[in-house]
Amino acid sequence: MNFLHLLSSEAVQHIIIHCLNISVWRSAEDQPAAQGSVRFKAWSGEVFEVGGDLEPEVIEDSCWIKDGRWHQTHFVFHSLDPTLLPVVDIYNLPNTTPGSHYHLEVGPVCFL
């Protein structure tokens, strides 16, 4: 991994959380991301989180919709510091209740 970090000037990774009747980022369409939402641990040990220096880009967030259908929240991690990626851990994943589920789709890291 160190070799890839040294040869690269930036890195990109996508993580999608597919969700059924459970919120992972914000609680309503017109609300900002909640402080208790998911957080992501970088390879370097730093944390991507709401309001932090390393807040991920969210290109879609429909998990707040609780209508019995699957939705998703799509995170993009793009960094000019390639040592931040890959994401190695995810914190604050929600507790599920009967009728709510989620699963993760963790994409590969593209080192540029």
List, for residues 14-45, the tens digit of each pLDDT value. 999 999 999 999 877 778 777 788 999 999 99
pLDDT score at 47:
92
Based on the structure, what is the number of domains in the chain? 1
- Position 92: which residue type? N
Distance separating alpha carbons of residues 15 and 108, to the nearest angstrom? 9
Hey, which bits of 1-112 come out as E strands?
11-20, 39-42, 47-48, 57-61, 70-79, 87-91, 101-111
pLDDT score at 98:
95
List, for residues 41-80, the tens digit of each pLDDT value. 999 999 988 777 788 999 999 999 999 999 999 999 999 9
Kindly report the CATH number assigned to the domain that includes residue 88: 2.60.120.1000
